[in-house]
Amino acid sequence: MPDISVTTAATNDGWTFGVQVAEANGQTRHSVTLSQRDFAQLTEGKQTTPEELVRKSFEFLLERGPKHQILRQFDLPAIVRYFPDYPTAIRSKL
């Protein structure tokens, strides 16, 4: 599994994350946003952090494709447009 590093900056209604995915053949950088409301909805009260949700979400994406296919900038809930099973799958990873 690639090395996934996550940095966080708080916003008025949530967070912005800088995510770096590194493997032997290179790295990619991504900017991800997440609102407090979406965090609550995706986690359904599970004890986790926004950073862990983002990290697990990238693991989910990397199980389905290479790092260079992940959008460079997106809102975390947008994953469901490409993978309808994301909400259920991510809750089982938390």
* pLDDT score for 54: 99
Statement: residue 1 has pLDDT above 80:
no
Res. 72 pLDDT band, cuts 50 70 90: very high
Res. 22 pLDDT band, cuts 50 70 90: very high
Neighbour order of strands in the sheet with 3-10: 3-10, 14-23, 26-35, 73-75
**DSSP H helix total and E strand total for the chain:** 4, 4
Distance (Å, whole) CA 85 – CA 94: 15
* pLDDT score for 16: 99
**The domain containing residue 50 runs over which residues?**
3-93
Mean per-residue pLDDT, 37-51: 96
Mean per-residue pLDDT, 49-55: 98
Rg for the chain, CA atoms, rounded: 12
Count of domains forming the chain = 1
